[in-house]
Amino acid sequence: VTFAQGPLDRTVGVGTITLQTSDVSTPTFMLPGIENVRDVASLIDETRRQERRRRGVYVESI
């Protein structure tokens, strides 16, 4: 889960979240125009981590 904000995005308070997935048909999924992009990206990442722990697939970035 990453996010990006260009200068114009920062001015209007939005950004783009990029998700790297294991889906063969859509390995990269972009969500443009997200308000509070940092908070939303953090929420997605934390939810992803919780789900992986719940399923017993606990792997952190090295």
Q: What is the mean pLDDT of each run of 10 residues along the chain (62 residues)?
A: 95 96 91 97 94 77 52
**Is the distance from CB of 47 to CB of 39 less than 8 angstroms?**
no
The pLDDT assigned to 60 comes to 62
Within-domain flag for 27 = yes
Is 62 part of any domain?
Answer: no
Rounded CA-CA distance 54/11 in Å is 38
Q: How many domains does the chain have?
A: 1
| Alpha helices for the chain (secondary structure H) | 7-12, 37-54
Query: Does 60 map to a domain?
Result: no
Q: Which domain holds residue 9?
A: 2-54
User: Is 59 part of a structural domain of the chain?
Assistant: no
Q: What is the pLDDT of residue 5?
A: 97
